[in-house]
């Protein structure tokens, strides 16, 4: 590498290093700046290492036709180097090329979709689902017949032989994108099994080769993993093991590479989903091979949650509590309470992986310390509230300093 090239790369590497240590809110701000650039160019390199983290913190991002098109595939998009043929996943490097080709073929229709989502963001679920419902079915139909783009190899770095599989996988998910989006947005608490079975049956009929990836999308929502597995195991010909193995691999990546970096809210959310996923995989109908894989991931998750909790105590809660020696304003107290709530949330998720007693002990000691901090300018009630947030009201009232 020439000296000029090294000089050019160093600032990018420096910023990447700083971003790695930044809070979720700061990452979201940087991302907003990058998203606002008319030409992103090298800025894409800045956020490339953050992809896994972005999946966990789900920042608000402007909606574009490409982003809308691939939205249903979010849980199964993987980096180019991690993607392997046969995996129920889609390499990120293939998306711009396929997206451009689909949008070009859709022509004026794609432009009308773009106009309808201009100024909207990905958190506006009603807009996403409404515009997506117009886009996904015709895109799936078009993609199923689409020849390989001329610049495929150059643009994606993938062999031509990979294209049919990737195309089929994307088309299969887009084909079921509407029921998939309705399922994930359904907050009614009704039994999701019929909807899941309908999705799997429709995929089996129209895109049998895409069953694995559709199942992987369904499993990604760990909370409903149990009925998903139940429905999948009841149907012959579904590559359940493949989809589960892939989902567990993603969970492991989340636990080891992402959990130490994201905020407590995102960490506990991901941990809770993974706990529900593991509970489902280790359920009464579990296959021995999957169960043993799930048990390995459970150990990884236990370690990751404990480590993240200790990190949050050392770097967030205790330093903030120490500042209570001087009068804290309302925002500082709210921030302290928010961290305490985050610690409890993570402990509640983490204890599902095993070491419940450890979490009780750790948070119990922290709560006792918070309650007994005589130098604190916090009122007795505020210290009591901190203890309550950490260990619950019953345990807080039994603390000696109360």
Partner 1 sequence: MDLPTPIPSHQSATFQERGVCVPFTTPALAGARVRRDARHGLALLVPNPSGGRGIYVLPWSGVRDMCHPTLHDCMLHDAIAASKAALVSPGVVRAAARRVAGDGAAGRAAHAAAVKAIQIESESRQATNRYLLYALAAQTTIQASAAEVAALADVVDEIGIGPYAARAGIPIRLAQVEGLRAALAAWSNMGADEPGYVSLVCGMADLAIRCGRHVIGAARDRVADVEGLLIDWRARAEDVAAVFSRPAWVLDGWSLPCLLWGAASGVVAQRAALIEIGQMLAVLPKEAGHWIGASIEAEANQAIRPMVGLNQDWRAGLNALDLVARNEQFRALAA
Min dist. Cβ of residue 186 to partner 1 (A): 6
158 or 328: whose CB is closer to partner 1?
A: 328
Choosing from 99, 227, 263, 369, the residue that interacts with partner 1 (CB under 8 A) is: 227
Q: If binding is defined by CB under 8 A, does position 394 make contact with partner 1?
A: yes
Asked if 372 touches partner 1 (CB under 8 A), the answer is no
Q: What is the smallest separation between the CB atom of 191 and partner 1, expressed in angstroms?
A: 5
CB 300 within 8 Å of CB 275: no
Element (H, E) at 106: helix 95-106
Smallest separation (angstroms) from partner 1 to the CB of 394 = 6
Distances (CA, A) of 220 to 89, 166, 172, 243, 257: 12, 19, 16, 10, 17
d(CA 74, CA 67): 9
Distance CA 250, CA 216 (A): 10
Tell me if 272 contacts partner 1 by CB under 8 A. Answer: yes
Beta carbon of residue 280, minimum distance to partner 1 (angstroms, whole number):
9
Residue 226 binds partner 1 (CB under 8 A): yes
For residues 154 and 43, give the distance between their C-alpha atoms in angstroms, rounded to a whole number: 21
Distance from chain centroid for Cα 74: 9
Residue 381 sits in the site that holds partner 1 (CB under 8 A) = yes
The reply on whether position 18 binds partner 1 by CB under 8 A is: no
Closest contact distance (angstroms) between CB of 396 and partner 1 is 7
| Footprint of partner 1 on 106-145 (CB under 8 A) | 124-126
Residue 320 found at the interface with partner 1 (CB under 8 A): no
Does position 39 interact with partner 1 (CB under 8 A)? The reply is: no
Q: How far is the CB of 233 from partner 1 (least distance, A)?
A: 16
Name 281's Cβ contacts closer than 8 Å, sequence gap at least 6. 225, 229, 244, 248, 290, 291, 293, 294
Interior angle at CA 123, CA 121 and CA 127, nearest 5: 70
11-45 burial, b for 16+ CB within 10 Å, e for fewer? Answer: eeeeeeeebeebebeebbebbeeebeeeeeeebee
Q: How far is the CB of 316 from partner 1 (least distance, A)?
A: 17
- Taking CB under 8 A as the rule, which mask of x and - marks residues 325-364 in contact with partner 1? -----x--xx--x---x--xx--xx---------------
Q: Which of residues 161-190 bind partner 1 (CB under 8 A)?
A: 185-190
Kindly list the residues in this chain that would bind partner 1 in the complex (CB under 8 A). Answer: 124-126, 185-193, 223-224, 226-227, 268-269, 272, 330, 333-334, 337, 341, 344-345, 348-349, 379, 381-382, 384-385, 388, 392-394, 396-397
């Amino acid at each position: 590498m020439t000296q000029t090239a090294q000089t050019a790369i160093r600032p990018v590497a420096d910023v990447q290093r700083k971003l790695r240590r930044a809070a979720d809110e700061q990452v979201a701000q940087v991302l907003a700046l990058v998203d606002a650039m008319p030409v992103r160019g090298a800025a894409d390199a800045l956020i490339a290492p953050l992809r896994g983290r972005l999946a966990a913190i789900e920042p608000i991002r402007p909606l574009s036709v490409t982003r809308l098109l691939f939205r249903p595939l979010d849980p199964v998009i993987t980096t180019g180097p991690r993607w392997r043929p046969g995996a129920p996943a889609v390499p990120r490097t293939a998306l711009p090329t396929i997206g451009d080709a689909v949008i070009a073929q859709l022509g004026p229709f794609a432009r009308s979709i773009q106009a309808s989502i201009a100024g909207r963001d990905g958190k506006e679920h009603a807009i996403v689902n409404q515009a997506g419902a117009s886009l996904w079915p015709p895109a799936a139909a078009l993609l199923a017949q689409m020849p390989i783009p001329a610049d495929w190899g150059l643009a994606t770095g993938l062999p031509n032989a990979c294209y049919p599989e990737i195309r089929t996988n994307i088309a299969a998910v887009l084909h079921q994108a509407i029921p998939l989006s309705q399922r994930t947005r359904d907050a009614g608490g009704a039994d999701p099994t019929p909807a899941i079975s309908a999705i799997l049956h429709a995929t089996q009929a129209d895109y049998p080769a895409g069953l694995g990836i559709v199942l992987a999308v369904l499993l990604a929502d760990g909370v409903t993993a149990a009925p998903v597995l139940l429905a999948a195991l009841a149907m012959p010909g579904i590559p359940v093991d493949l989809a589960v193995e892939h989902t567990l691999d993603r969970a492991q990546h989340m636990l080891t590479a992402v959990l130490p970096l994201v905020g407590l809210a995102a960490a506990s959310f991901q941990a809770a989903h993974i706990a529900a996923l593991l509970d489902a995989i280790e359920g009464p109908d579990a296959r021995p091979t999957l169960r043993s894989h799930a048990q390995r991931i459970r150990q990884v998750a236990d370690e990751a949650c404990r480590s993240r909790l200790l990190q949050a105590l050392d770097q967030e809660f205790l330093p903030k509590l120490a500042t209570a020696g001087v009068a804290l304003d309302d925002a500082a107290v709210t921030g302290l309470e928010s961290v305490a709530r985050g610690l409890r949330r993570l402990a509640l998720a983490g204890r599902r992986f095993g070491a419940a007693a450890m979490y009780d002990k750790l948070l119990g000691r922290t709560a006792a310390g918070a309650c007994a901090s005589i130098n604190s300018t916090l009122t007795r009630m505020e210290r009591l509230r901190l203890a309550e947030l950490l260990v619950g009201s019953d345990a807080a009232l039994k603390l000696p300093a109360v």
